[in-house]
Amino acid sequence: MRRTFGWIAAALLVVLAAWKLYESISPRAEQQKPLLFVPKTVDGRSDFWRVLGMGVQTAAKEFGVQVQTVGTVAETDVDGQIALLERAIEERPRAIVLAASDYNRVVPVAKRIQAAGIPLITVDAGLNGGIAASFVATDNYEAGRKAGEAALRLLPQDATIAVVSFVKGTATSMERERGVRERLAEAPGVNVLEETYFSDGSIDKAYRIVSRLLRERPDIQGFVCLNEPTTTGAAKALQESGRAGEVKLVGFDSSTDEIDYLEADVIQAIVVQNPFNMGYLAVRAAVDAARGKRTEPVIDTGSEVITKQNLYNKENQKLLFPFDDPD
């Protein structure tokens, strides 16, 4: 009798263990796992990443999925982002939405994510070789050309222009700079400084760079700045130098500070993306990929040039303030 009871107990334990194993690998368990969102930075001072995160959360609610957000404070902390992704492989989220901090250095860990069978979507900044089921972003090369075109409309034919970028080595910064420089190179007589200056995504560093250039290179007549903090820091430097309006500034992205500088004619044009749509569409693509559905390899979320003259257009207001109703 005791032996029979022992066999029954052992069998029940085996059945229970098998059931737990089934639950852990069943489609239902997979569906309950969260998506992992890894932005370039979790610094709440960046309006761009804050709005993109709102798009992520809106999509998560609409599609009935949980999203866990992890990231580094500094956009330049590539090693930190790689470490977070290594940990994610062990935890096996339902899918990963990644804004890569470096075009090349993040590739090896991205390949390990793929090998682990975890769907990977890149947003805003992609990876060398297109290692992702889908890449959701502005066409940054085209956006760079738009910035170059805006600068040419503002400046004389023989103008001297400096390009101030943000984090060296990211796909976003490289593609924007390529677009800017190629468009400016098409205009005979324009002198673009050969050196590109990098703010590391810091308002303070951009302020110091532009302040120094204004002192050392009084011949500079225009700046093209390639992201939000860089544009804001440059605008602050121009305003404090007393040369705002005289030296033209074309920037990227939108924040309340940038819009204030635009209204005050410190900034003459900004190339505005749609970060809310980026976040929303990245989550939608991640949900589709996790369900085994086909996703578009590239999803272009567009960009617009905003000036003081078209700032109050209804469509531009929707782009600048996605949660306000202009009506």
In this prediction the pTM is 0.83
Q: 266 and 279, same structural domain?
A: no
262-to-248, 254, 266 alpha-carbon distances in Å: 11, 10, 6
Same domain, 202 and 235: yes
Q: How many domains does the chain have?
A: 2
* CA 195 vs CA 148, 161, 164, 219, 298: distances in Å: 16, 11, 9, 15, 31
Q: Do 152 and 181 belong together in one domain?
A: yes
pLDDT value of residue 44: 84
Residue 44: CB atoms within 10 A of its CB come to: 10
pLDDT in tens, 135-187: 999 999 999 999 999 999 999 999 999 999 999 999 999 999 999 999 999 99
Residue 192: DSSP 8-state: E
Which CATH number goes with the domain that contains 100? 3.40.50.2300
- My answer on whether 189 and 164 are in the same domain is yes
**Residue segments in the chain with a per-residue pLDDT below the cut of 50:** 2, 5, 8-9, 11-12, 14-27, 29, 325-327
> For residue range 24-68, what is the model confidence (pLDDT) as tens digits?
444 454 557 999 999 999 988 888 999 999 999 999 999 999 999
